[in-house]
Structure 1
Amino acid sequence: MAHSFAGLDRDEFADSTAIMAHHMIYQTLQQRGLLGRQHIIVDISERSNIRFLNMMNLNVIGSNQEVISKVSRIGTGSASSMTGGFWMTPIFASGQVLVSSLLDNVLFQAYSKTHILDLIKLCCGVRFKQAIELDQLLGIDSSNLCLIETPAQFVGKPFLKLFQTLALVYGIVPLGLYRAPDRELNNALPFVFSNPLPGILLKSTDMVYVLKS
């Protein structure tokens, strides 16, 4: 079988069953008024196929097209050059898409960079007895990944101010933000983004991912 047909890559058909099932479930929930009460997660193998999901949602279509146009202006505009742009689409950022190939990349990298698994374990709170005993022997307070509310005094302030205060004064390291749906910012879905830009203004509905003991 040829790898392409009428300008389409064969990989674009790899997730056709999952994409069609996602559309049918989405439409059914929408017709029954249950769309906001149910959370749909779809597993696809090719990350570029994210652009075929939630095409009935006009807000998502507009966001996807905006990302695609930005990436195409930066790169050559080919499908391969736009692959990374779909990571920033609302449906992916909100955790409604699982791309299995990304997990394969992590496993592959773990063979040559063993510290990757160590970081994942630490973020998930997985500790072995030997490591805990060593920390106690050395007097080290281990840290865990936690989710806290944005302190009231930092609402409307840049993320940099929050980072500096928590890190330097309290020994807490902010890693990212969980941002709730917000009409003012025109995001219909909640999403998580790590390592926010220093100038990002915090909102009262933001939650902060931190490392704290």
Structure 2
Amino acid sequence: MSWAFVEGVSLHELYTILDVQPTHDIPDHTDLGTSSVPLTGAKLEPSWCGIFGNYALVMDLLLGTTPPRLARLPAQSRCVACVVLEHAMVSYAGYWKGGEPVWEVRHDAGDHLETTGSLPGEFAKLRDQAIAKQRPSQTTRWKVDYLFNVPTDTAATLPLYPRDWMMRADLFSELRALKPINGNELARLSTPPRWWQLTRSMQYR
């Protein structure tokens, strides 16, 4: 599953920036990010617009073109994007202001966290706590990947981030399924391929 929360634009403006438009289908919020509802959008209280995608489709929307659609966001905007691919044990979070990257953190299966930019102060504590738990788990039969949650936990430290959005239907308004427009081709393979296109989550063209 993937999602992005954007602040500083209206929902209509965000759809225009990302070359998508709402349909008449109103999905249940518990189906977001599933194959039955591959792409959806909504307003979230208090101040975010949200895009939700199956696998890493939100990354294709934001960063899959040259230049990236994310660069179209206005200067006052903020965007946080997350990817959780449990089958591949890959997780990611990134934060942008005005369409420019501030920080990114990604975990691939194993004991590695790849980071860029100026991460929030809470990141180091979250990383160190996960590593401390990870070491004892490696001596047991069933290994737990505690680093997997570090990217999304880091995103959740941002002010006003809707931490419990998966559990609260009352946070959503104007929830609609989305479809690409203006020649927007989701799952189009970039040259060279991007990291989320190499996880074998879905077929890229």
TM-score, scaled relative to structure 1: 0.24
TM-score, scaled relative to structure 2: 0.25
Structure in which a larger fraction of residues adopt helix: 1
Larger radius of gyration: 1
Higher relative contact order by CA 8 Å / sep ≥ 6: 1 or 2?
2
